[in-house]
Amino acid sequence: MTGNSQSDLFVRQLQSRLLSSLSSGLSEVITGAQPGDSDTIVIGDQEIFYERTLDNISVRITNLLDGSSTEIVLPVVQTALN
């Protein structure tokens, strides 16, 4: 059975948890208490560029092997401090 052994399952679960942890860390850098304005981070064959403006957070993920990319634009939530 290819792909369904206990070791395959373990590898998939470990990879998922590591990617989740990495994603959480990147999210904190981009949106945390002291976010940066922009930066480029390279992880393996992926380049992640983010830029914060007053209105938006833009994240572009580029596959360095084939040049394809995905862009995500999120509005910055403004909160009123009392």
Domain annotation covers residue 61:
yes
Parent domain of 65: 6-75
Domain annotation covers residue 33:
yes
- State yes or no: pLDDT of 80 exceeds 80: no
Domain annotation covers residue 81:
no
Residue 75 backbone dihedrals phi, psi, to 5 degrees: -75, 150
- State yes or no: pLDDT of 82 exceeds 50: no
Average pLDDT over residues 38-46: 91
Q: Facing residues of 75 across strands?
A: 56
Domain annotation covers residue 1:
no
Domain annotation covers residue 50:
yes
Report the number of distinct structural domains present in the chain: 1
CA 46 to chain CA centroid, Å, is 10
Domain annotation covers residue 36:
yes
Domain annotation covers residue 19:
yes
- State yes or no: pLDDT of 3 exceeds 80: no
Element containing residue 17 per DSSP (H, E)? helix 6-31
